[in-house]
Amino acid sequence: MRRRPPLLVALVALSLAVAGCAEDAQPPADPPPPPNPMIVSFDDGGGQIFVMDADGSGVRQITRTTDPQAPDDNYAGSAALSPDGSHLAYTRGGRFIDVVDLESGDSTTVHEGGYDPEFSPDGSTIAFSDGTGISLMKADGSDVRTLVSEEQASAATFSPDGSRVLYMTAGYIMEVPATGGEPTLVLRDQFYNADPVISPDGSTMVFASNRGGRNGSEIYAMPVGGGEITPLTDTYAVHPTFTPDGSTIVYTRVRNAAGDVAPDVSDQVRSELASMNSDGTNQKTLTPRSITAQIPSVGGGQ
Protein backbone atom coordinates (compact mmCIF):
# COMPACT_ATOMS: atom_id res chain seq x y z
CA MET A 1 0.00 0.00 0.00
CA ARG A 2 1.27 3.42 -0.92
CA ARG A 3 1.72 5.67 2.09
CA ARG A 4 0.65 9.32 1.88
CA PRO A 5 3.53 11.70 2.72
CA PRO A 6 3.09 13.11 6.26
CA LEU A 7 3.05 16.72 5.04
CA LEU A 8 0.34 15.97 2.49
CA VAL A 9 -1.72 14.22 5.16
CA ALA A 10 -1.45 17.27 7.38
CA LEU A 11 -2.48 19.63 4.58
CA VAL A 12 -5.50 17.51 3.66
CA ALA A 13 -6.57 17.37 7.29
CA LEU A 14 -6.19 21.11 7.63
CA SER A 15 -8.24 21.78 4.49
CA LEU A 16 -11.02 19.53 5.73
CA ALA A 17 -11.01 21.27 9.10
CA VAL A 18 -11.20 24.70 7.47
CA ALA A 19 -14.04 23.55 5.23
CA GLY A 20 -15.92 22.27 8.26
CA CYS A 21 -15.39 25.55 10.08
CA ALA A 22 -16.64 27.49 7.05
CA GLU A 23 -19.84 25.46 7.03
CA ASP A 24 -20.34 26.10 10.75
CA ALA A 25 -19.36 29.79 10.62
CA GLN A 26 -22.09 32.26 11.53
CA PRO A 27 -22.29 35.92 10.49
CA PRO A 28 -20.81 38.25 13.12
CA ALA A 29 -23.31 39.23 15.77
CA ASP A 30 -24.37 42.83 16.11
CA PRO A 31 -22.63 44.57 19.02
CA PRO A 32 -24.75 44.59 22.17
CA PRO A 33 -26.69 47.80 22.78
CA PRO A 34 -25.37 50.14 25.48
CA PRO A 35 -26.76 49.47 28.97
CA ASN A 36 -28.61 52.79 28.84
CA PRO A 37 -29.84 54.35 25.58
CA MET A 38 -28.98 57.97 24.90
CA ILE A 39 -31.30 60.44 26.62
CA VAL A 40 -31.48 64.22 26.94
CA SER A 41 -32.37 66.19 30.06
CA PHE A 42 -33.57 69.78 30.34
CA ASP A 43 -35.43 72.13 32.64
CA ASP A 44 -38.53 74.14 31.83
CA GLY A 45 -37.42 77.42 33.39
CA GLY A 46 -40.23 77.00 35.88
CA GLY A 47 -38.59 74.77 38.45
CA GLN A 48 -39.05 71.32 36.92
CA ILE A 49 -36.65 68.91 35.19
CA PHE A 50 -37.46 66.45 32.42
CA VAL A 51 -35.71 63.78 30.37
CA MET A 52 -36.58 62.50 26.92
CA ASP A 53 -35.33 60.09 24.30
CA ALA A 54 -32.64 61.32 21.92
CA ASP A 55 -35.18 61.94 19.14
CA GLY A 56 -37.35 64.16 21.35
CA SER A 57 -39.98 61.53 22.11
CA GLY A 58 -40.90 60.05 25.47
CA VAL A 59 -40.72 63.26 27.52
CA ARG A 60 -41.07 62.46 31.21
CA GLN A 61 -40.92 64.63 34.30
CA ILE A 62 -38.21 63.84 36.86
CA THR A 63 -38.74 66.42 39.61
CA ARG A 64 -42.00 67.48 41.20
CA THR A 65 -40.82 70.31 43.38
CA THR A 66 -44.14 71.85 44.34
CA ASP A 67 -43.91 71.99 48.14
CA PRO A 68 -45.93 75.14 49.01
CA GLN A 69 -44.09 75.42 52.33
CA ALA A 70 -40.69 75.84 50.68
CA PRO A 71 -41.12 76.82 47.04
CA ASP A 72 -37.68 78.40 46.73
CA ASP A 73 -35.85 75.43 48.22
CA ASN A 74 -37.58 73.10 45.78
CA TYR A 75 -37.03 75.01 42.54
CA ALA A 76 -35.03 72.68 40.25
CA GLY A 77 -32.84 73.56 37.27
CA SER A 78 -29.43 73.23 35.58
CA ALA A 79 -29.53 69.45 35.25
CA ALA A 80 -26.59 67.30 34.15
CA LEU A 81 -26.75 63.64 33.18
CA SER A 82 -24.02 61.20 34.14
CA PRO A 83 -22.13 59.90 31.07
CA ASP A 84 -23.86 56.52 31.25
CA GLY A 85 -27.28 58.13 31.61
CA SER A 86 -28.08 56.38 34.88
CA HIS A 87 -28.06 59.41 37.19
CA LEU A 88 -28.95 63.07 36.97
CA ALA A 89 -27.49 65.88 39.07
CA TYR A 90 -29.32 69.18 39.36
CA THR A 91 -29.52 72.42 41.31
CA ARG A 92 -32.36 72.68 43.80
CA GLY A 93 -33.29 75.95 45.43
CA GLY A 94 -30.27 77.66 43.93
CA ARG A 95 -27.97 76.18 46.60
CA PHE A 96 -28.45 72.42 46.89
CA ILE A 97 -27.03 69.84 44.50
CA ASP A 98 -29.18 66.71 44.31
CA VAL A 99 -28.48 63.48 42.44
CA VAL A 100 -31.34 61.23 41.35
CA ASP A 101 -31.09 57.59 40.28
CA LEU A 102 -33.18 57.53 37.11
CA GLU A 103 -34.03 53.84 37.47
CA SER A 104 -35.23 53.87 41.06
CA GLY A 105 -36.23 57.53 41.27
CA ASP A 106 -34.37 57.93 44.56
CA SER A 107 -32.92 61.41 45.06
CA THR A 108 -30.11 62.41 47.41
CA THR A 109 -28.79 65.83 48.38
CA VAL A 110 -25.02 65.52 47.96
CA HIS A 111 -23.99 69.13 48.60
CA GLU A 112 -25.31 72.37 50.05
CA GLY A 113 -23.87 75.64 48.81
CA GLY A 114 -23.39 74.93 45.11
CA TYR A 115 -25.09 75.02 41.73
CA ASP A 116 -24.62 74.13 38.03
CA PRO A 117 -23.23 70.59 38.49
CA GLU A 118 -21.39 68.78 35.69
CA PHE A 119 -20.14 65.16 35.68
CA SER A 120 -16.63 64.13 34.70
CA PRO A 121 -16.34 61.78 31.67
CA ASP A 122 -16.00 58.72 33.93
CA GLY A 123 -18.90 59.82 36.14
CA SER A 124 -16.84 59.74 39.33
CA THR A 125 -16.57 63.50 39.90
CA ILE A 126 -18.88 66.51 39.81
CA ALA A 127 -17.68 70.04 39.08
CA PHE A 128 -19.87 72.90 40.30
CA SER A 129 -19.98 76.62 41.00
CA ASP A 130 -20.42 77.97 44.51
CA GLY A 131 -20.32 81.76 44.20
CA THR A 132 -16.65 81.93 45.09
CA GLY A 133 -15.28 79.87 42.20
CA ILE A 134 -15.30 76.32 40.83
CA SER A 135 -15.10 73.26 43.08
CA LEU A 136 -14.93 69.51 42.57
CA MET A 137 -16.37 66.66 44.60
CA LYS A 138 -16.91 62.95 44.23
CA ALA A 139 -20.29 62.00 42.79
CA ASP A 140 -21.53 61.08 46.27
CA GLY A 141 -20.68 64.54 47.61
CA SER A 142 -17.50 63.60 49.44
CA ASP A 143 -13.98 65.00 49.06
CA VAL A 144 -14.98 68.58 48.18
CA ARG A 145 -12.07 70.74 47.06
CA THR A 146 -11.71 74.19 45.52
CA LEU A 147 -10.34 74.23 41.98
CA VAL A 148 -10.69 77.91 41.02
CA SER A 149 -11.05 80.84 43.42
CA GLU A 150 -12.77 83.50 41.33
CA GLU A 151 -16.26 84.77 42.09
CA GLN A 152 -17.39 85.08 38.48
CA ALA A 153 -16.20 81.61 37.45
CA SER A 154 -19.08 79.40 36.28
CA ALA A 155 -20.27 76.95 33.61
CA ALA A 156 -17.58 74.37 34.38
CA THR A 157 -17.16 71.45 31.99
CA PHE A 158 -14.56 68.70 31.63
CA SER A 159 -12.32 67.94 28.67
CA PRO A 160 -13.09 64.54 27.06
CA ASP A 161 -10.24 62.82 28.91
CA GLY A 162 -11.17 64.45 32.22
CA SER A 163 -7.76 66.06 32.65
CA ARG A 164 -8.91 69.68 32.33
CA VAL A 165 -11.85 71.81 33.38
CA LEU A 166 -13.06 74.66 31.18
CA TYR A 167 -15.12 77.50 32.56
CA MET A 168 -16.22 81.04 31.80
CA THR A 169 -15.55 84.19 33.76
CA ALA A 170 -16.45 87.78 32.88
CA GLY A 171 -17.03 86.88 29.24
CA TYR A 172 -13.84 84.98 28.55
CA ILE A 173 -13.05 81.26 28.62
CA MET A 174 -10.42 79.66 30.85
CA GLU A 175 -9.16 76.17 31.60
CA VAL A 176 -7.40 74.61 34.57
CA PRO A 177 -5.96 71.13 35.25
CA ALA A 178 -8.53 68.96 37.04
CA THR A 179 -5.84 68.12 39.58
CA GLY A 180 -5.41 71.81 40.36
CA GLY A 181 -2.97 74.43 39.21
CA GLU A 182 -2.80 77.78 37.49
CA PRO A 183 -5.71 78.61 35.13
CA THR A 184 -4.79 79.50 31.56
CA LEU A 185 -6.62 81.69 29.06
CA VAL A 186 -8.43 79.94 26.20
CA LEU A 187 -10.38 82.80 24.58
CA ARG A 188 -10.65 86.48 25.35
CA ASP A 189 -11.63 89.25 22.95
CA GLN A 190 -14.12 92.12 22.72
CA PHE A 191 -17.07 89.72 22.78
CA TYR A 192 -18.85 87.89 25.60
CA ASN A 193 -18.00 84.18 25.37
CA ALA A 194 -19.76 81.51 27.41
CA ASP A 195 -20.88 77.88 27.72
CA PRO A 196 -17.65 76.20 26.48
CA VAL A 197 -17.66 72.50 25.62
CA ILE A 198 -15.07 70.34 23.83
CA SER A 199 -15.99 67.74 21.20
CA PRO A 200 -15.54 64.09 22.25
CA ASP A 201 -12.51 63.70 19.96
CA GLY A 202 -10.86 66.67 21.65
CA SER A 203 -10.40 68.66 18.44
CA THR A 204 -12.98 71.45 18.68
CA MET A 205 -14.33 73.83 21.28
CA VAL A 206 -17.93 74.95 20.80
CA PHE A 207 -19.25 77.94 22.72
CA ALA A 208 -21.88 80.69 22.80
CA SER A 209 -20.92 84.27 21.98
CA ASN A 210 -22.49 87.61 21.09
CA ARG A 211 -19.99 88.23 18.27
CA GLY A 212 -22.82 88.09 15.72
CA GLY A 213 -23.91 91.64 16.60
CA ARG A 214 -27.43 90.66 17.66
CA ASN A 215 -29.23 91.04 20.96
CA GLY A 216 -28.10 87.75 22.40
CA SER A 217 -25.70 85.09 21.22
CA GLU A 218 -25.05 82.43 18.64
CA ILE A 219 -23.03 79.21 18.77
CA TYR A 220 -19.52 79.08 17.36
CA ALA A 221 -16.74 76.52 16.88
CA MET A 222 -12.99 76.97 17.27
CA PRO A 223 -10.13 74.47 17.01
CA VAL A 224 -8.73 73.49 20.39
CA GLY A 225 -5.50 75.42 20.75
CA GLY A 226 -6.81 78.39 18.77
CA GLY A 227 -7.62 79.18 15.17
CA GLU A 228 -10.46 80.43 13.02
CA ILE A 229 -13.81 80.86 14.77
CA THR A 230 -16.72 79.55 12.70
CA PRO A 231 -20.41 80.38 13.28
CA LEU A 232 -22.69 77.35 13.60
CA THR A 233 -25.98 79.22 14.05
CA ASP A 234 -27.26 82.58 12.82
CA THR A 235 -30.12 82.79 15.33
CA TYR A 236 -30.08 83.07 19.11
CA ALA A 237 -28.53 79.93 20.61
CA VAL A 238 -26.86 78.98 23.90
CA HIS A 239 -25.97 75.94 26.04
CA PRO A 240 -24.38 73.67 23.40
CA THR A 241 -23.56 70.06 24.30
CA PHE A 242 -22.33 67.13 22.21
CA THR A 243 -23.75 63.66 21.77
CA PRO A 244 -21.24 60.93 22.75
CA ASP A 245 -20.13 60.25 19.17
CA GLY A 246 -19.53 63.95 18.49
CA SER A 247 -21.74 64.01 15.41
CA THR A 248 -24.53 66.14 16.89
CA ILE A 249 -24.83 69.24 19.05
CA VAL A 250 -27.92 69.78 21.21
CA TYR A 251 -28.59 73.37 22.31
CA THR A 252 -31.16 75.94 23.47
CA ARG A 253 -32.82 78.32 21.02
CA VAL A 254 -35.91 80.56 21.19
CA ARG A 255 -39.07 81.26 19.21
CA ASN A 256 -41.00 84.52 18.82
CA ALA A 257 -44.72 85.24 18.97
CA ALA A 258 -45.15 84.19 15.34
CA GLY A 259 -43.67 80.80 16.14
CA ASP A 260 -40.49 81.41 14.16
CA VAL A 261 -36.98 80.69 15.39
CA ALA A 262 -35.88 84.07 16.75
CA PRO A 263 -32.60 85.76 15.76
CA ASP A 264 -32.37 87.40 19.18
CA VAL A 265 -34.16 87.55 22.53
CA SER A 266 -35.96 90.86 22.01
CA ASP A 267 -39.21 89.13 21.05
CA GLN A 268 -38.64 85.78 22.74
CA VAL A 269 -41.79 83.91 23.73
CA ARG A 270 -40.37 80.55 24.77
CA SER A 271 -37.22 78.47 24.56
CA GLU A 272 -36.83 75.00 23.10
CA LEU A 273 -34.16 72.38 22.52
CA ALA A 274 -32.79 71.92 19.02
CA SER A 275 -30.09 69.77 17.44
CA MET A 276 -27.68 70.21 14.56
CA ASN A 277 -24.79 68.40 12.97
CA SER A 278 -21.41 69.31 14.44
CA ASP A 279 -20.79 71.58 11.42
CA GLY A 280 -24.02 73.53 12.01
CA THR A 281 -26.11 71.87 9.30
CA ASN A 282 -29.46 70.10 9.71
CA GLN A 283 -30.83 72.31 12.49
CA LYS A 284 -34.12 70.99 13.84
CA THR A 285 -36.39 71.21 16.87
CA LEU A 286 -36.21 68.39 19.42
CA THR A 287 -38.74 69.24 22.11
CA PRO A 288 -42.52 69.41 21.59
CA ARG A 289 -43.77 72.94 21.00
CA SER A 290 -46.20 72.57 23.87
CA ILE A 291 -43.41 72.81 26.45
CA THR A 292 -40.61 75.19 27.33
CA ALA A 293 -37.12 73.68 27.45
CA GLN A 294 -33.60 74.94 28.13
CA ILE A 295 -30.11 73.85 29.27
CA PRO A 296 -29.77 70.38 27.69
CA SER A 297 -27.53 67.58 28.89
CA VAL A 298 -26.87 64.29 27.09
CA GLY A 299 -26.11 60.93 28.70
CA GLY A 300 -26.14 57.23 27.87
CA GLY A 301 -25.62 55.69 24.46
CA GLN A 302 -22.02 54.69 25.18
CA distance 125 to 118: 8
CA distance 103 to 149: 36
Work out the number of other CB atoms within 10 angstroms of the CB of residue 173.
Answer: 21
Which has more pLDDT, 18 or 40?
40
Segment 97-122 shows an average pLDDT of 96
The DSSP output letter for 280 is: S
- In degrees rounded to 5, what are phi and psi of residue 10? -65, -40
Cβ pair 249, 264 in contact under 8 A: no
Domain ranges for the chain: 189-297
Q: How confident is the model at residue 9 (pLDDT cuts 50, 70, 90)?
A: very low
* DSSP class per residue in 234-282: SS-EEEEEE-TTSSEEEEEEEEETTSSBPSSSTTEEEEEEEEEETTS-S
What are the angstrom distances between the C-alpha of 41 and each of 49, 93, 159, 186? 7, 18, 20, 28
* Cα angle: 138, vertex 117, 105; to 5 degrees: 80
Work out the number of other CB atoms within 10 angstroms of the CB of residue 200.
Answer: 17
The mean of the pLDDT values for the chain is 89
> Using one digit for the tens of pLDDT, what is the confidence trace for 120-176?
999 999 999 999 999 999 999 999 999 999 999 999 999 999 999 999 999 999 999
Pairing of strands 284-285, 164-169: unpaired
Residue in 24, 61, 21 with CA at minimum distance from that of residue 41: 61
pTM for the whole thing? 0.87
Distance of CA 239 to the CA centre of its chain: 9
Segment 226-246 shows an average pLDDT of 96
CA distance 149 to 151: 7
CATH of 189-297, one of 2.60.40.10, 3.30.720.210, 3.30.1330.20, 2.120.10.30: 2.120.10.30
In the predicted structure, residue 3 carries a pLDDT above the cut 50: no
In the predicted structure, residue 215 carries a pLDDT above the cut 90: no
| Residue 38 confidence (pLDDT) | 97
Q: Is 8 helix (H, G, I), strand (E, B) or coil?
A: helix
In the predicted structure, residue 14 carries a pLDDT above the cut 60: no
